[in-house]
Amino acid sequence: MSICSSPQTECTLSRREFLRATLIGGGLTLSGFSLFRWLTEPRLTSSTFIGKASHYQIDFAKLIREGLHELGVSTHELKGKRILLKPNLVEPHKSSVHINTHPLVVRGAVEAFLSLGAASVVVAEGPGHRHDTLLVLEDSGLADALYEDRIPFQDLNTMEGISMPNLGGHTKLTTLTFPRVVQQVDWVVSLAKMKTHHWAGTTLSMKNFFGVMPGNYYGWPKNVLHQAGIPQSILDINATLKPHFAIVDGIIGMEGDGPIMGDPVQAGVLVMGRNLPAVDATCCRIMGINPYKIEYLYKADQWLGPIHESLIEQRGESWKTMHHPFALVPEIPAHKNIRLS
């Protein structure tokens, strides 16, 4: 465990870490972060929270408040803030709880942020596979939760866009067009689903932001980004948007041929954190996947955040006690050789 406990800070090497780094130096070299740099340079660190949730009938507002507290998010920090929650809505299947972020997780997040002093919370999404966002909302079950609690919703696919310089530089896109609402809120939160992915290996909090990019500009299913490169686009979007927080619904995730055709798997976790690469790396370990074998995480390491286990302080449950290897498909290239050894 790192001696640094504050999120996304830099630290110097302790004696214990020096010895540990010496033992694992080979793995660091393979990751692209050399042993010499590991021993001599300051490194980004972060914290993640893993909450145990065996079913969807628990009090998610309470669990999310617990996670926020453990991660140092105070009422003072959230007071008066405008929060945007971006769930993962792919296909309208209310009975298939492994495809979309569950409505009760969305509701719990709304309640948690409002109870801690947020001025407003809006749920926003731009589904990539369907033009009819209202249909996705209704058939996923999220429309009922939004209506019952009078939670506002924004369709990001049709919203007027704002052009921003691409701060990632991994694609050839010089600018990225985001929906105007991202400039009207204080916090952007990825409310993702824990799934394997046919093209990216995994889809978690970082990949979830494909749905922020307006379909009116990027097409369906965000074809411009697919053509530019999925891992590269994930990195550029996150580097430019600079999201503030992530909550990943892994109560029932998806294994196999995700993000649509896979099978449900009960991992029983909710994973949270301020730093998205750290959150996604933790999710990967729970899923039995090596985060260094996921291209966008490998490239995000020590640029957008830490993914090495020793640099991510665990709060709540340990990923090792919640370890639940997700099934992979050997015939899918993105699934080859990514298993955590």
d(CA 44, CA 308): 10
Based on its alpha-carbon atoms, the radius of gyration of the chain, rounded to whole angstroms, reads 19
CB 145, CB 106: distance < 8 Å: yes
Q: What is the pLDDT of residue 314?
A: 96
pLDDT-based confidence at 7, cuts 50/70/90?
very low
Q: How confident is the model over 193-230, as pLDDT tens digits?
A: 999 999 999 999 999 999 999 999 999 889 999 999 99
* Mean model confidence pLDDT for the chain: 90
Nearest Cα to Cα of residue 98 among 10, 34, 194, 171: 194
d(CA 335, CA 338): 6
CB 244, CB 298: distance < 8 Å: no
d(CA 282, CA 327): 17
What range does the domain containing 320 cover? 10-335
Q: Is residue 143 part of a domain?
A: yes
Q: What is the CATH number of the domain that holds 191?
A: 3.40.50.11440
| pLDDT > 70: percent of the chain | 86
The stretch 149-154 carries a mean pLDDT of 94
Q: Is residue 340 part of a domain?
A: no
d(CA 204, CA 283): 8
What CA–CA distances, in Å, run from 63 to 28, 51, 59, 68, 269? Answer: 34, 7, 6, 9, 11
- The reply to whether the predicted model has a pTM over 0.85 is yes
Q: How confident is the model over 235-263, as pLDDT tens digits?
A: 999 999 999 999 999 999 999 999 999 99
The stretch 59-80 carries a mean pLDDT of 98
Q: Is residue 2 part of a domain?
A: no
Q: Which residue has the higher pLDDT, 8 or 61?
A: 61
Query: How many domains in the chain?
Result: 1
Write the DSSP string, 258-295.
TTTS-EEE---EEEEES-HHHHHHHHHHHTTB-GGGSH
Q: What is the pLDDT of residue 151?
A: 95
Q: What is the pLDDT of residue 27?
A: 47
The stretch 60-67 carries a mean pLDDT of 98
pLDDT above 50: residue 3: no
Q: What is the pLDDT of residue 5?
A: 42
pLDDT above 70: residue 17: no
Q: Is residue 257 part of a domain?
A: yes
The stretch 301-317 carries a mean pLDDT of 97
Q: What is the pLDDT of residue 41?
A: 73
Q: What is the pLDDT of residue 127?
A: 87
Q: Residue 66's CB: how many other CB atoms inside 10 A?
A: 18
Q: Is residue 3 part of a domain?
A: no
pLDDT above 90: residue 25: no
Q: Is residue 197 part of a domain?
A: yes
Q: Is residue 341 part of a domain?
A: no
pLDDT above 60: residue 32: no
CB 92, CB 184: distance < 8 Å: no
pLDDT above 90: residue 31: no
Q: Is residue 110 part of a domain?
A: yes
